[in-house]
Amino acid sequence: MKHAILSAVTAAALVLPAVASAEITLRLGETTAPNHPQTQRDVRVAELVSEKTGGEVVIETFPAGQLGNAPAQMESMMTGGQDMFGGTAVFAGGYEDNWRVLSLYFLFSSPEHIAAFEKSDIFDEMNEDLIEATGVRALSVAAVRGPSAFISKTEIAGVEDIKGKKVRIPGVEGYALSLEALGAVPTPVAWTETYMAFSQGVIDVVQSSLSGIKSERFTDSGSYVVNIGHNWEPTGLFIAESAWEKLSEEQQTALMDSIVQANDEAWAKAAEGEEALKDDLRAAGAEIYEGDQGPWRESILENLVPTLAAEGFWTIPDLFPRIVALDPAAN
């Protein structure tokens, strides 16, 4: 009788579907709004990884600072309170010195340059340093929108015209140092307070992507846009090492493949829209200056970079010039 029961159980097991792996749920926070290219990239990553793992890995996204500001979310990953964070990669510079280099102007020249950096030994070394210092891993750095531009109340046709101007930035050291090297006055203001600060003259200039200039209606107060590609700000996607280690090798591969695809799709969409954004800004009364970046770039490369290298702003030897040299257009 016992043998018959065991046979029946065995037979039933043969016809039952295989039990799927236990679901892993990861919480991914962003500070940007749901319609922002960065947030949309992260939502796409979540969709793709669910497809590629058959629902084994689920990423829940929390946009618009629901989990706190960028430093708070970075620190939450470090303490295990949050699994993932999508945001500008420069914020990692607050926790590991070599990452501060990403906030300096004229480091990158294009999305292809950022992609070459992400595939380099330099990025791998920086990532290992970040993991060791914080327990947080950078899964990706990529361009998902165009470079930052400046919008000003008064005309800026060259680097001399920005001297003495109060320029709004987030609290990022490399931005401040870069602006000081250009002769400007870096002025940290919360993003949510920037529109009012610009309209009231608390600041003279705002640094923002073209999409941000449009969506935040900075053309209400400023008419002069400087779009010379001074700051290709890489968007990062980070994961707590403890969360990364929960994933099987196959799941890690699926996540990385999903990120690559989502990054490519995000940049293709952004590149398509850059010219349309310029048209929209001109229609709103803006004049767009896209002249020679040479004098601007020289102020950074000749005055700032040697000083920072001597002061130990980064610990990897020749870090800034080595990243600059990765530019495919220069090779």
> 87-105: per-residue pLDDT in tens?
999 999 999 999 999 999 9
Least Cα distance to 26 among 172, 171, 187, 243 occurs for 243
Element containing residue 229 per DSSP (H, E): strand 224-231
The pLDDT assigned to 20 comes to 43
Domain limits, the chain? 23-145+233-275, 148-231+285-314
Backbone angles phi, psi at 211, to 5 degrees: -65, -35
The whole-number average pLDDT for the span 2-31 is 58
Q: How confident is the model at residue 26 (pLDDT cuts 50, 70, 90)?
A: very high
Task: Say what the pLDDT of residue 21 is.
Answer: 53
Q: How far is CA 154 from CA 48, 72, 175, 207, 241, in A?
A: 45, 36, 21, 14, 47
pLDDT at res. 186? 98
C-alpha torsion sign, points 246, 58, 88, 110: positive
- Of residues 19 and 255, more confidently modeled: 255
For residue range 198-255, list pLDDT tens digits in order.
999 999 999 998 988 998 899 999 999 999 999 999 999 999 999 999 999 999 999 9
Q: pLDDT tens digits, residue range 259-318?
A: 999 999 999 999 999 999 999 999 999 999 999 999 999 999 999 999 999 999 999 999
Whether 226 contacts 204, CB under 8 Å: no
The pLDDT score that the predictor gives to residue 208 is 92
With vertex at residue 213, the alpha carbon angle to CA 139 and CA 44, rounded to the nearest 5 degrees, is 30
Question: Contact, 19 vs 56, CB < 8 A?
Answer: no
The whole-number average pLDDT for the span 26-41 is 91
Q: Examine domains 23-145+233-275 and 148-231+285-314 and report if their fold is the same.
A: yes
Assess whether pLDDT exceeds 70 at residue 2: no
Q: Per-residue confidence at 55, pLDDT binned at 50, 70, 90?
A: very high
Q: How far apart are CA 315 and CA 44, in angstroms?
A: 35
The CATH T-level fold of domain 23-145+233-275 is D-Maltodextrin-Binding Protein; domain 2 (3.40.190)
CB 58, CB 26: distance < 8 Å: yes
Instruction: Convert the pLDDT of each residue in 149-199 to its tens digit.
Output: 999 999 999 999 999 999 999 888 999 999 999 999 999 998 778 999 999
Q: Which percentage of the chain shows pLDDT scores above 70?
A: 93
DSSP secondary structure string, 179-213? HHHTT-EEEE--GGGHHHHHHTTS-SEEEEEHHHH
131-143 pLDDT, tens digit each: 999 999 999 999 9
Is it the case that residue 13 has pLDDT exceeding 90? no
Does pLDDT of 35 surpass 90? Answer: no
Six-digit token pair at 309? 């290298």
Give pLDDT, residue 165.
Answer: 98
pTM given for the model: 0.89
Q: Cα(17)–Cα(35) distance, rounded to whole angstroms?
A: 40
pLDDT band at 22 (very low <50, low <70, confident <90, very high): low
CATH superfamily of 148-231+285-314: Bacterial extracellular solute-binding protein, family 7 (3.40.190.170)
